[in-house]
Amino acid sequence: MDEVFNAAVIAKKLIEKKSITPNDGDCQEYIKKELENYKFSCENINLEDVKNIWLRKGSDRPLVVFAGHTDVVPPGNIDEWDTDPFTPEIKNNILYGRGASDMKSSIAAMVAATQRFIKDNPNHKGSIGFLLTSDEEGPAKYGTQKVIEKFKKNNTNIDYCIVGEPTSSKKFGDTIKNGRRGSITGHLKIIGIQGHIAYPELAKNPIHYAGTLINDLNNFKWDNGNKYFPETSFQISSVRSDEVASNMIPRSIDITFNLRFSNELTQEKIKSKFEEKLSKLGCQFEIKWNCSAEPFITDEGKLTKILQSAIKEIVNVEASLSTSGGTSDARFISQHAKETVEFGPLNETAHKVNENINLQNLAELEKIYYAVLCKILI
């Protein structure tokens, strides 16, 4: 069977499996069957309602790992789709369906590239692994994070890892993610004294304290960024008071905010500086923190150079390195792997209605992954 066609067939098979997070929809079992004739061992690492699978061929180094997630976000309003999100359709060489961009097509390209590579190079050096989870689009508590903890304990050492997130921006192949910013969310309650709005001297308005704080934070420079990261950003996502009447000063106000931070900072430094500013307000407050990701960076090295070279050879595009965007499971893998990068299709339709991938890009993606395997394992 033609390798390009094979990647498209695998993508369609995966898309038709309704794997809304944390449900795997038997995607991993299908991938296991696709690779079982290529001498891959299999370990299912299932925790709570999350399915994880570790597939490996070989025991020698270097170990090249393809990583990704089989879960997808919900489709949203089905009526807004031109096609059934879980019935893959091809129109004008475009494959439509939930997960076409993020990231079932990448997994399909990884599997097809691996099959072709092993067929062409049965005596290759090193090892190939697949690390897949159904818990990336959700809380990400029992997925890749737990598998990497297990790897650390049993000395499963990863040399090079490619995570198949949709990284391309304007043109397929233009962006490789070699790091991501950290993400920390704060849930702040500022507590004042409730009272009649006509007698402000008898109350303490928490909204006024909040206004002072927000103005301070909007103008505060957390850092200057560096070679890899832009400066840290602060954004408010929610402001809500417990006001029940227009003539009342509320007792409290709740603010939810987020900082995307560079490796110039740590979550401890952010918490310390923030709470220092709160203390200066002279009001009562409560705050809870949730750091979902620490910043990470993979310096330019063998993997980034090989991947850039493969992209140039296949699609004639000069891929740039970037740390923009949200978080991914690369944040867990990078703690243990020698080099970790993300590379995949265009991200324009990820999580959107009518999510899709150009089949030419899918074919090119498979060739790029194949070229990387050749450059490392031959």
Of 272, 293, 314, which residue is a domain's last?
Answer: 293
CATH of the domain at 229: 3.30.70.360
Options 16, 102, 136, 366, the catalytic residue: 136
Give 154-201 as a DSSP string.
HT---SEEEE----B-SSTTSEEE-EE-EEEEEEEEEE-B-EETT-GG
What is the pTM for the complete model shown?
Answer: 0.89
Residues 251 and 332 in one domain: no
Residues 281 and 303 in one domain: no
Between CA 125 and CA 133 the distance in angstroms is 26
User: Three-state SS across 219-234?
Assistant: HCCCCCCCCCCCCCEE
Number of domains in the chain: 2
Provide CB contacts within 8 A for 298, sequence distance 6+.
Answer: 178, 179, 304, 334, 339, 340, 341
Cβ–Cβ < 8 Å for 61, 156: no
Best CA proximity match to 151, nearest among 26, 2, 333, 21 = 333
What is the domain range of residue 262? 182-293
Mean pLDDT, all residues of the chain: 95
Task: Write down how long the chain is.
Answer: 378
Is 136 a residue of the active site? yes
Q: pLDDT, tens digit, for every residue of 274-288?
A: 999 999 999 999 999
For the cut 60, the answer to whether the pLDDT of residue 29 exceeds it is yes
Query: What mean pLDDT do residues 311-336 have?
Result: 94
Between CA 99 and CA 349 the distance in angstroms is 10
Options 34, 71, 329, 342, the catalytic residue: 71
Residues 89 and 50 in one domain: yes
For the cut 90, the answer to whether the pLDDT of residue 269 exceeds it is yes
**DSSP code of residue 26:** T
Provide CB contacts within 8 A for 92, sequence distance 6+.
Answer: none
Of 251, 277, 293, which residue is a domain's last?
Answer: 293
Name the percent of the chain in helix, strand, coil, to the closest 5: 35, 25, 40
**Helix residue ranges per DSSP H, the chain:** 3-15, 27-35, 104-120, 144-154, 206-219, 267-281, 302-315, 330-333, 359-377
Q: pLDDT, tens digit, for every residue of 32-83?
A: 999 999 999 999 999 999 999 999 999 999 999 999 999 999 999 999 999 9
CA 112, distance to chain mean position in Å, is 22
For the cut 70, the answer to whether the pLDDT of residue 93 exceeds it is yes
Which residue in the block uniquely carries the two structure tokens 């402001």? Answer: 239
Residues 41 and 111 in one domain: yes
Between CA 4 and CA 33 the distance in angstroms is 19
Q: pLDDT, tens digit, for every residue of 113-132?
A: 999 999 999 999 999 999 99
Residues 31 and 159 in one domain: yes
For the cut 70, the answer to whether the pLDDT of residue 167 exceeds it is yes
Residues 331 and 284 in one domain: no
Residues 117 and 211 in one domain: no
Which residue in the block uniquely carries the two structure tokens 């330019």? Answer: 300
For the cut 90, the answer to whether the pLDDT of residue 147 exceeds it is yes
- Strand 160-163 relative to strand 63-69, pairing: parallel
Is 71 a residue of the active site? yes
Between CA 233 and CA 325 the distance in angstroms is 12
Of 293, 310, 328, which residue is a domain's last?
Answer: 293
